[in-house]
Amino acid sequence: MGRDIARDVDRDFADWLAPHLPMLHRTARAFAEPADQHDLLQEMSLALWKARPRFRAESAASTFAHRVAHNAALTWRRGEARRRTRGVAIEAELLTREAGTDPQGALLETLYAAIRRLPPIERSLILLSLDGLPYAEIARLHGLSETNVGARLTRIRQRVASLVEEADHGV
């Protein structure tokens, strides 16, 4: 009976997590080098699993997921959890295949690499903005004013664009 309950809880969590998985994957790519992305993805999922019982419908599920995932990514330490699994290779294959067939794939790789070169808070701000969160929401998540978020994002966008350009020109 205990096992049935655990299975139901797992299924319930999996259903809840599914719509946030693409966001977790993008966050992992922006915060960790390819070899560590799988570890970070698991850390963020674990953080969501622990935090989910405290989720109240007062805020949107996506805002809640962003908050928990970004917190986990900001405080994640490379190599902290050495759980390199056989999955990494398969996952990489799946995602590389996808990137390779799309003309935007190469540009995306450069964009992710540029974001990874930013300081962590800036990384989080630009990710939230790219994921379509309004300034007010980003400001609330980070405890900053909307004006401050706007000013920071203008600067970060310029920096990212110039980093991508540098990479394109092989600088």
Partner 1 sequence: MEFDRLEAAWRSPANTLDARAQAYLMEEVMKSLKARRRGEILLFAIPMIAMSIFTAIAVRAIAQGRLDPAREWGALVMLGVCWLVLGAILVAGVLLRHRRSQDQGSMRDTLAAMLSANRRARTNMKVFLVMLPVFLVPMLFSITQLHQVGKATERDAWQMLLVFGLALGASVTWNTARYFGVMKPEQRRLEALLKEYE
Q: Which residues bind partner 1 (CB under 8 A)?
A: 10, 13-14, 17-18, 21-22, 25-26, 38, 41-42, 45-47, 49, 51, 54-55, 64, 67-68, 70-72, 74-75, 77, 83, 85, 87, 90-91, 94-95, 98-99, 102-105, 107-108, 111, 119-122, 124, 130, 140-144, 157-158, 160-162, 164-165, 168
**Closest distance to partner 1 from the beta carbon of 97 (Å):** 9
For partner 1, the closer of residues 49 and 135 by Cβ is 49
Contact 84, 91 (CB under 8 A): no
Q: Which residue reads 């759980």 in tokens?
A: 83
> How far is C-alpha 145 from the chain's CA centre?
23
Contact 125, 74 (CB under 8 A): no
**Closest distance to partner 1 from the beta carbon of 2 (Å):** 12
Of the chain, the end-to-end C-alpha distance in Å amounts to 61
**Closest distance to partner 1 from the beta carbon of 55 (Å):** 7
Tell me how far apart the alpha carbons of residues 12 and 136 are, in angstroms, rounded to a whole number.
31
> CB within 8 A of 98, min separation 6: which ones?
105
**Closest distance to partner 1 from the beta carbon of 6 (Å):** 8
